[in-house]
Structure 1
């Protein structure tokens, strides 16, 4: 009977632990046995979450790190909450960077390879959750010592946020000029290695001062011509034009002046700076294909009620007889007039758009063929498909 009571008590204790969250209130390490002189598996930073696997014994807990590694940490560093009074003991050998380097707000490292696949679970056949790029900061609370082990770059136990990659693919932020020199020193006939370093150069340039894009693409284009891949050639030539535009980017004031009087023209009807009456909307486009109520927590749109048409989407206030355009699909009937000298219609190619308006747009390697132009409290999101203007969305800032 005593044994039965003991097992029940142990089960209840472990159940309580499983329901609570535990954090480390200091830098420490994950030891393979309960001793600071023992071999260790990796580094924890202040604030890292752990899961308890045992009761405290002789001042130690057995814990699980967010990459599922198991080991021991001192009991004195385990807490159910963090506060400003915590006395942090820093581990000077811990490679993790604290959130004070102007790149990320909490403990992190950087992606050091091109096109890194972040996976849902720590194994190579797991679902890819995200593609990351050279120079991207990634949150890390626990860093394994072994470069071939997996690290959670989501900084969270939650399946929703957890993402995994191998330890060897993250580290200190690469230096652009060093990478540039590395490329220039490579054998010109070694197209494989030049492509690898060239991809890193380009991705790091997108994560740096945009003036670095042109020298990065100059090197990368040398490799692309060696490879003679038509699609890669076309994409790179387009990105070179984007880089030239971004290098001469206009100020926010200049961009706002450029688009201040912008309006859509829909089947010949002007929207008077993105607005028209509900009656005019129904008169021109008829009954919507679909109506939907969408929660707008920020209160950015005219109404929570949206009308959906093949040609456009709009937020509609039926009581006030108002409609606000939120997305327009560009065709021979619809266009966006930015100003008296600038119109985006179905005849505008992606290349021509970039050549003409490259100094006014925002662009990212993570969203190819999607561009933005800032407005006062929102922006135009301009999407091209197969080189043709597809749709324009008005995206409001929360």
Structure 2
């Protein structure tokens, strides 16, 4: 499964000068004389922190991950990029574009790669990248011990360049897994297979989950094996064309938010019912830029529940619900609440679940005009929210 994840690499930090752009792959050197090449900037790289040495006609650049480097070929340092620019292809190690990413990039080659707050191995971890995640490359250092910057989940961080390269092949990893002689090596390759599966198509993802379930089962990780097999079954049964089953179930009162096991009515809950179960309204506002809100509609908050209030008929449809107290969600004949496990959800959601995000432990059910996101933490359902298509 391809992750809908965008990783931007920035070429500088401060904004004490007008931003510059690299229009074609341009080599960076260790000094203003160009004595030794230390890396290469790719087309689209942004240069924010620099000094132009007038007497040398050279750009001096300094960032935490490059140190001090120099661009001597100044012709390709531009104030802006244009579609008419002539530019060369990226160097062979960097992928120009493919089905995974549309600009220069490489892929992570290890499982659960830690993203550090600063470019060193002792810095705090701000996130993790799955094996096979495409990483945009705007500066590629030649020193294998160098770091490159990334942005993940609105956080900036750094990863070692030695852990990015050509996209791993599932077949190669499976061969290495089968040949592994030690439990440590088997685990390493099984984890890489599992994570690459999440960054692959549905069929490969399913196969990776089943392989990891086999590994986990052999090593007495029965709960892990069960979840992997259930996830594999979910992927095998993703709706192909018809995403209207949730709507059909709603009409039969078999799908939707519940409070005290009362499912949300077609026209929405009445204010009196919500206040008697959730308390008084905490806040409300109308956001004209919120595509979920139509005419005469308002965002209304009842503590643990966010609603869309219909100003004319005075009813409320739930938009987001924390799984606390008597809050819940009904799927078919099952009522889910804050005690519901991932396994329970996967069993009842098979045939409805349309995608899985392993990084956030979230599951999605789509219909033709919205998506339901089910969020889990510590193997318990903690929140359900509706994402409206804009």
TM-score, length-normalised on structure 1?
Answer: 0.81
> How much has 1:104 moved relative to structure 2?
1.5
Contact 2:299-2:306 within 8 A present in 1 as well: no
Deviations 1:286-336 (A, max 9, x none): 423x225474623313644322235x3323355652322112345785543
Matched residue SS, 1:314: strand
Q: 1:122 to 1:342 in 2, by over 3 A?
A: same
> How much has 1:205 moved relative to structure 2?
0.5
Work out which of the residue numbers 173, 176, 190 in structure 1 matches 2:170. Answer: 176
Deviations 1:191-228 (A, max 9, x none): 11111111000000111012223432344345434554
Contact 1:56-1:75 within 8 A present in 2 as well: no
Deviations 1:148-175 (A, max 9, x none): 11112349xxxx6532111111111111
Contact 1:140-1:153 within 8 A present in 2 as well: no
Work out which of the residue numbers 106, 112, 116 in structure 2 matches 1:115. Answer: 112
Contact 2:257-2:328 within 8 A present in 1 as well: yes
Residue 145 (structure 1) aligned with residue 147 (structure 2): no
Contact 2:278-2:302 within 8 A present in 1 as well: no
Q: 1:205 to 1:171 in 2, by over 3 A?
A: same
Residue 305 (structure 1) aligned with residue 299 (structure 2): yes
Residue 235 (structure 1) aligned with residue 224 (structure 2): yes
* Aligned equivalents of 2:315, 2:324: Cα separation in 1: 24
> How much has 1:257 moved relative to structure 2?
2.5
Equivalent position of 1:80 in the other structure:
79
Deviations 1:360-397 (A, max 9, x none): 212122122x3211122211122345555444222223
Work out which of the residue numbers 43, 60, 63 in structure 1 matches 2:61. Answer: 63
Residue 281 (structure 1) aligned with residue 274 (structure 2): yes
Matched residue SS, 1:41: strand
> How much has 1:122 moved relative to structure 2?
0.8
> How much has 1:70 moved relative to structure 2?
2.1
* Aligned equivalents of 1:201, 1:191: Cα separation in 2: 15
Q: 1:216 to 1:264 in 2, by over 3 A?
A: closer
Equivalent position of 2:9 in the other structure:
none
Unaligned runs of 5+ in 1: 1-15
> How much has 1:146 moved relative to structure 2?
1.1
> How much has 1:32 moved relative to structure 2?
1.7
Matched residue SS, 1:208: coil
Q: 1:154 to 1:41 in 2, by over 3 A?
A: farther
Contact 1:331-1:345 within 8 A present in 2 as well: no
Deviations 1:55-85 (A, max 9, x none): 2444432223673332221111111111112
* Aligned equivalents of 1:274, 1:373: Cα separation in 2: 21
Work out which of the residue numbers 355, 358, 369 in structure 2 matches 1:377. Answer: 369
* Aligned equivalents of 2:261, 2:155: Cα separation in 1: 46
Matched residue SS, 1:53: strand
Matched residue SS, 1:81: coil
* Aligned equivalents of 1:263, 1:161: Cα separation in 2: 34
Work out which of the residue numbers 119, 127, 131 in structure 2 matches 1:130. Answer: 127
Residue 205 (structure 1) aligned with residue 197 (structure 2): yes
Structure of greater relative contact order (alpha carbons < 8 Å, 6+ residues apart): 2
How do residues 256-295 of structure 1 correspond to structure 2 at under 5 angstroms?
A: 256-260=244-248, 261=250, 262-267=255-260, 269-273=262-266, 275-282=268-275, 285-288=278-281, 290-293=282-285, 295=287
- Bigger Rg over Cα: 1
> How much has 1:256 moved relative to structure 2?
1.6
Residue 31 (structure 1) aligned with residue 25 (structure 2): no
Structure with a larger share of its residues in strand: 2
Deviations 1:347-372 (A, max 9, x none): 8553233123223212122122x321
Residue 90 (structure 1) aligned with residue 89 (structure 2): yes
Contact 2:213-2:224 within 8 A present in 1 as well: no
Question: Once superposed, what is the RMSD of the aligned Cα atoms?
Answer: 3.0
Q: 1:352 to 1:326 in 2, by over 3 A?
A: same
Contact 2:28-2:69 within 8 A present in 1 as well: yes
Q: 1:56 to 1:101 in 2, by over 3 A?
A: farther
Tell which deviates more after alignment, 298-307 or 329-338. Answer: 329-338
Unaligned runs of 5+ in 2: 1-13
Contact 1:122-1:150 within 8 A present in 2 as well: yes
